[in-house]
Structure 1
Amino acid sequence: MTEPSLDRARTPLLTLITQEALDRDYQVAASRRGDGERPERRRSYRGGVIAVIGVFAMLVTVAAVQTSQNADVDDASRASLIDRVEARQAVLRDNQDRIAQLRDANAQGQEALSSLNRRYADARARVAALGALTGFAPVTGSGVRIVVDNPDYAGPNEVVRDSDLALLVNGLWEAGAEAISINGQRLSGASAIRNSGEPIEVNSVGIAPPYTVIAIGDRRTLGADFVESRSGLRFLNLADQYGFTHEIDNVDDVRLGAAPSSFQRLRSATYLQRNPKTKGGEAP
C-alpha cells in the first residue's frame, strides 16, 4: 500500500525536512539491499543517518532555545518601554496641571494689574485736581486781568503795599476765582504777600509795579462779583483814596504756572492718615 504524499504547502518545515531525509535514506538502503549489500555496510549507513538526525535535532533545539531567549528579551524591552511611556505621560500630566495653575495665576495677576492701573489713574486724577485747587499744578482757562500801579509822583506812604494786594486777592477769591497769580507768581495755601522794605514779595520772590493780577474763573460774573465783594470794595476805596491806577479786563485763554514745589513740604504739620492700609496694600 502506497503512503499518501505530503502536502508541501501545508506541512511544517521541520516535519518536511525530517520526513524527506528519512524517505531518501530508506530508498538508498532499499536499493543497496537489492544489490546485495553487506549487513555491515547497511549498519554503518544507518548509524550515519541517526547521527545526522541527532545533529539536526540538536540544531533545532538550540534554535528553539535561542528563540525563547529572544522572546524573553523582547518582552522585557516591551515592558521597559511601556514603563517609560507611562512615566513620560505622568510627567506630561504634571506639566499640564502646572501650566493650568500658571495660567490661572497669570489671569489673576492681570486682573490685579488692571485694578492697580485703574486706582493709579484715579489717584493721578485726584492729584491733578488737588494740585489745580491748591496751586501746585498748572491751569488754563478764562477769567479777568487786573493791572494795579502806583500813582505818579507817589510818596512813600502812597504806593501799593502788600496789604493792598492782599485785599485785591481776597476779593477775587470771594468772587469765585479758582486760580490767581501776581506777576507770574502762582498763589497757593502756603503763599505769602508781604513787604520787604518797600518792595513786595510773593512766594519769597520780589515783584515790581505795575502789578498784574490774573484770576481764572467765570469771566461772565467774576469781575462784577469782585466789585461787589467786601474785600473788593475795600480795595477800590483804597485805590480811590491813594490814587492807585487799576484796570479790569476779561481774558479768554490764560495759563497760570504752578506754585513753587518747595511749598509742598510740611515743616511742622503731620499728615493724618485716616484709612490705614491693610495687608495687601489696600485701604478698607
Structure 2
Amino acid sequence: MPDSRTTTADRVSTPLLTLITQQSLDEDYRHVAERRAEQGSTPTGRRRLGTATVVVAVFGLLVTVAAVQNSQRAGVQSASRASLIANIDRGRADLAALQERIVDLRELDVSLQDNLDDVTAAAQGAQARVQRLGAVTGFGAVTGPGVRVTVDDGDHFTVRDRDLRPLVDGLWNAGAEAISINGQRLTARTPIRNSGAAIHVNFRPLSPPYVVLAIGDPRTLQADLMETTSGLTFRDTAAQLGFPWNMDNVDRLSLPAAPQRLIQLDWAVEGTAKENLVKRRKDTPP
C-alpha cells in the first residue's frame, strides 16, 4: 500500500486541472465496473459486431451522399460551363456579323458620299448653266455695268415702235448682253410694236420717256453702237424727228427676268438649231 505521505505530496504537487480530470475519470471507470459487476456480464462479441456494422453503414451512407452531391455539383458545373461557352461563341459570332455589317455600311456610306458629290457637282453645274442661259435668253435676272439710253417724245412727233427697234438692234450688234425697256426684259420672243398710240413690249403698254438699259462693257458700248448701221439709223431718225435722247454709262444695272409666259413654246423640235438645219437639208429633195 502506498505511503499516505507520498500520495499526499503527489496530490499537492499535481496541477488542479489535471487532478480534477483524473479524479473524474477514475470515478467514472469505477461506476461502470460496478454496474457491469451487478449485471454479471460483459459486452459480447455480437454486440460489438452490431455496433461496428452500424458505424460502417452510417459511414457508407455519408460517403454515398457526399458522392451523389459531388456528382450533381459536377454536372451542374459542367452544364454551366458548356452554356457559358455556347453563349461566348454566339456572342463572338454576333460580334463578327456586326463588324462585317459595319464594314459594309462604311463602304456604302463612302459610295453614297461619292454619288452625293457627283450629284451636287452636276446640280451646281446645271444651276450655273441655267443662270447663263437665263442671262442669254432673258428669262433670268441679271446685274452688271452698261449704258442707259433715255428717249422721249418730241414737240411735234411721238416715238413709235419703228424708232426704238433700230436702237435695240444696234445695242445687240454692239455687244450688249441684256436689254430692257421701262423694266420689260427683251428676249428672242419679245415683240416691240404699237397698239394704238402706246408702244407695247412683252404685250405691256409703255409710256414715255422710254428708258433703255443695256448691260455690256461701258468702255466700248457707246462707241460700238454708233458704228453699227442700226445705231446710225436711230441717231439720224431722232435728229430728223426732233425727239430728245441721251446716253450715259452706269456702273451697276439690274435687269429683271422676262415674263414666264413667254417661255411657253407653240412649236419645238428635238435637237439644236444646227442639227435641225442639217436634217432639213438632207430631207429636202434636190
TM-score by length of 2: 0.77
Distance between the aligned counterparts of 1:178 and 1:42, measured in 2?
138
2:144–2:251 contact (8 Å) kept in structure 1: yes
Q: Say whether the 8 Å CA contact 2:147–2:249 is kept in structure 1.
A: yes
Query: Could you tell me which residue of structure 1 aligns to residue 220 of structure 2?
Result: 221
Aligned to 2:6: none
> Following the alignment from structure 2 to structure 1, what is the Cα–Cα distance between the partners of residues 69 and 215?
106
Q: Could you tell me how far apart the structure 1 residues matched to 2:173 and 2:271 are?
A: 29
- 3-state SS in 2 of match to 1:215: strand
The equivalent of 1:211 in structure 2 is 210
Change in 2 beyond 3 A, CA 1:215/1:51:
same
Matching of residue 118 in structure 1 with residue 121 in structure 2:
yes
- Which of the residues 51, 60, 72 maps onto 1:57? 60
Do structure 1's residue 69 and structure 2's residue 99 form an aligned pair? no
Q: Which residue of 2 aligns with 1:242?
A: 241
Equivalent residues of 2:154, 2:243 under 8 A apart: yes
Residue identity opposite 1:168 in structure 2? L
Q: Out of 97, 118, 126, which is 1:94 matched to?
A: 97
Higher Cα radius of gyration: 2
Q: Map 1:1-284 to 2 at 5 A.
A: 38=41, 41-154=44-157, 159-272=158-271
Q: Secondary structure at the match of 2:145?
A: strand
Aligned-pair identity (%): 48
Moved over 6 A (4+): none
- In 2, the alpha carbon distance for the partners of 1:231 and 1:133 equals 21
Aligned partners of 2:194 and 2:179: how far apart in 1? 19
* 1:228 alignment partner, SS class: coil
Bigger CA drift: 172-181 or 235-244? 235-244
Which secondary structure does the structure 2 equivalent of 1:87 belong to? Answer: helix
CA displacement at 1:271 relative to structure 2: 5.0
- Aligned partner of 1:280 in structure 2 is none
Gaps of 5+ in 2: 1-28, 273-286
- Number of aligned pairs? 238
Structure 1 length as normaliser, TM-score? Answer: 0.77
CA-CA distance at 1:199 after TM superposition: 1.0
C-alpha deviation, 1:57, in angstroms: 1.5
Q: Report how far residue 109 of structure 1 moved.
A: 0.7
Q: Which has the higher helix share?
A: 2
Residue aligned with 2:226, SS: helix
**Shift of residue 89 of structure 1?**
1.3
Q: Secondary structure at the match of 2:247?
A: strand
Native 8 Å contact 2:191 2:202 kept in 1: yes
Tell me the CA shift for residue 171 of structure 1: 0.5
Do the aligned partners of 2:155 and 2:243 also contact (CA within 8 Å) in 1? no
CA distance in structure 1 between the aligned counterparts of 2:88 and 2:251, rounded to whole angstroms = 80
Q: 2:80, 2:68 → 1: CA distance?
A: 18
In structure 2, the residue matched to 1:23 is none
- Whole-angstrom CA distance in 2 between matches of 1:187 and 1:209: 17
Distance (whole Å) between structure 1 residues aligned to residue 219 and residue 86 of structure 2: 89
1:40 Cα deviation (Å)?
Answer: 5.8
Of 36-45 and 178-187, deviating more is 36-45
User: 3-state DSSP class of the match of 1:267?
Assistant: coil
The alpha-carbon deviation at position 82 of structure 1 amounts to 0.9
Give the CA deviation at 1:240: 2.1
